[in-house]
Amino acid sequence: MSEQQHQKHRLYGRAAGKPLSKRQQALIDDVLPTLGIPATAAGQLQPASLFDGKRDVWLEIGFGGGEHLAGQATRHPDVGFIGAEPFVDGVAKLLTALDEQALSNVKVRRGDARDLVAQFADKSIDRGFILFPDPWPKTRHRKRRLVQSDFIVELARILKPGARLRFATDWADYANRALADVTRSGLFDWTAARANDWRVAPADHVTTRYQEKRLGDCAPVFLDFVRV
């Protein structure tokens, strides 16, 4: 689906904030093209082919400042990571982290993640993360939220059976609605067995600066699902 088609239900506002530093702009100009993801027809891109073709591939949708993505890439050097983020500021921060840590197992798409997901072949992603997406808290704006029924179906299409999906938010209504929509789909099992399974950050979570700001209306909620 094109950006023009998404415009009515755009997930984000301006895609650029304050001016980048010279170093950040150089990374955007010179490094981002080397980490980019080619455009393909819908359902044709095999994510593993972006790496060595043999490794698992994890996807983070809306990686913000990139702390979580870079942290996971450091912990799992044998995994290929793909990140999608519309904001140039966040992309620049991730590129800075990749450069400083000499990480070579990450590919980046600046833009609407829905366009990227549409490119992926069926059952081609081994794990997914959607962490603290824009909550669009006003009732009239909730149609702009990323995690809704149609996108849940798309995620189920690209995730392999048994693949894990983590959704985190600090807005209570978004957590409740996302949980209801995902479980209602019948495409995922919710892994929680007790309250602390969603109240306490998972052991493998990498805390982000956004999370620490506590800008939502509730403590962070972590919902882990498994593709059935």
| Cα separation, 46 vs 57, whole angstroms | 10
Label the pairing between strands 188-190 and 221-227: antiparallel
Sign of CA dihedral 149, 178, 63, 111: positive
| Cα separation, 63 vs 215, whole angstroms | 17
Q: Which two tokens stand for residue 43?
A: 């359902």
Question: Left, alpha or beta for 136 (phi > 0: left; psi -120 to 50: alpha)?
Answer: left
Which is catalytic among the residues 134, 173, 181, 224? 134
Indicate if 126 belongs to the active site.
no
Closest CA to 108 of 157, 165, 162, 63: 63
Contacts of 100 (CB under 8 A, 6+ apart): none
List helix spans (H) across the chain.
Answer: 3-6, 22-26, 32-35, 67-75, 88-101, 113-119, 149-158, 172-185, 196-199, 209-213
Contacts of 157 (CB under 8 A, 6+ apart): 122, 123
Q: Looking at the annotation, which residues are catalytic?
A: 134
